[in-house]
Amino acid sequence: MDITTETIGGFLDALGAKTPTPGGGAVSSIAGALGAALASMVVAYSIGKKSLAEHDDALRAAATRLQERRADFLRLADEDARAYGRLNEIMRLPEDDPRRRDELPEAARDAAAAPLRTIEACADLAALLETLAPITNRHLRSDLAIAAVLTKATALASRWNVAVNAPLVIEQGGENPMERADALVAALGEATARTERACV
């Protein structure tokens, strides 16, 4: 499934089906893309506004970054689905299968790395959203706050996918990915909280 071209209805049908993917990882990343797109709308309504003219350059730069983040989240949704699909396939092999022995360490790392990269994208988006509160159209503050909420939700959801794969990563000799995940989630949680307060 190509998430970038699938209809909302088609994606929801696939999500609700008894298949390994798409699953929580794709949902998490799509929530991040929604947050970035919603923030793009806020910026679009702010560019060219006379009262915000002094911020026009910053707003245009933000518009570009938000488009990039939205594309990143959609790419990460596909990446997560592929990584989990591969891990699921390998885990179904008999324990004495040479392919399972050879490929499981990398598959486990990839399955944890994809949601971790989503959290990293959330951290970048959260920092950007915080800069937008004072320079965007006040009539769209609720939309900016919702974008922040979606960003935090994406990170928290992605943390679950890192956590569920972390024991297997460690078992296969890899480093615990939870330390970085938790540090990023904590920092971006503070950033999104500041954005929400600024939108009141």
Query: Cis ω on the peptide bond leading into residue 22 (within 30° of 0)?
Result: yes
Residues near 82 by beta carbon (within 8 Å), at least 6 away in sequence: 21
Percent of the chain with pLDDT over 70: 100
Class of domain 8-198: mainly alpha
- The pLDDT tens digits of the residues spanning 84-141 come to 989 999 999 999 999 999 999 999 999 999 999 999 999 999 999 999 999 999 999 9
Beta strands in the chain (DSSP E): none
- The pLDDT tens digits of the residues spanning 32-66 come to 999 999 999 999 999 999 999 999 999 999 999 99
Contact present, 81 and 23 (Cβ < 8 Å): yes
72-27-12 Cα angle (round to 5): 120
d(CA 174, CA 111): 12
Q: Where are the domains of the chain?
A: 8-198
